[in-house]
A and B are shown apart, each in its own frame.
Chain A
Amino acid sequence: DGGITQSPKYLFRKEGQNVTLSCEQNLNHDAMYWYRQDPGQGLRLIYYSQIVNDFQKGDIAEGYSVSREKKESFPLTVTSAQKNPTAFYLCASSASGTNEQFFGPGTRLTVL
């Protein structure tokens, strides 16, 4: 089955630690995205990548980093510089020429 997966579903980290969230897709999509969702708010774009080996900052990139070494994978690192990292993180992908985005199930990160 084609789809987009995120792991783990729940993640707990101590303050000051970096943590990497996984996102994999087998839809053969060129574009991938990371969003952050906070209670009562819409999704906010962290980073996006339209093609392998290229990515751009979204609206709230500070304290985050990404890589896009393979078409299928777009991991997100939440660094210790992110002031308020506790949130629900959603990864998405889309085919070239369309903004019809398909979402993964999300990772809930809690920083203690």
Chain B
Amino acid sequence: GEDVEQSLFLSVREGDSSVINCTYTDSSSTYLYWYKQEPGAGLQLLTYIFSNMDMKQDQRLTVLLNKKDKHLSLRIADTQTGDSAIYFCAEERLSGGYNKLIFGAGTRLAVHP
């Protein structure tokens, strides 16, 4: 269908790894993004991956891309309480001559002691 899909909620213990999953729809998407939103705030770009890559690592963040299954994941190592937020994946999709971002509904990550 048209939607970018994510599970709505994830709970992890502080210090464990978090894995947030996303499925997208357009196999021709060139870039896929992960954004973080803290309560009452705007979105902060965390990382992105180009479609010809399988993996990208940036400090505690690892992005894995499976183009065949149109599956994207974000792994946060050593999850901290400050990582509690909503995480959005977004795919870049060509529409009307313009590359627009299509966002998932967001995954709320709760980190507990």
Residues of A within 8 A of B (CB): 4, 6, 40-43, 45, 48, 50, 56, 58, 90, 92, 99-106, 108
Contact = CB atoms under 8 A, between A and B. Distances in A.
A42 B98 contact: no
Contact of B4 (A42, A92, A100, A102): A42
Contacts of B33: 99-100
Contacts of B106: 42
B7 to A, nearest CB: 12
B43 A42 contact: no
B103 A42 contact: yes
A43 B103 contact: yes
A49 to B, nearest CB: 11
Main secondary structure of the interface of A (DSSP, over half): strand
Interface of B: 4, 8, 31, 33, 35, 40-45, 48, 88, 92, 96, 98-106
Contact of A103 (B31, B44, B100, B105): B44
A104 B42 contact: yes
Nearest to A97: B99
A17 B31 CA distance: 40
Contact of B100 (A45, A100, A105): A45
Contacts of A101: 43, 45, 101
B105 A40 contact: yes
Contacts of B98: 48, 50, 56
A4 to B, nearest CB: 8
Contacts of B41: 105-106
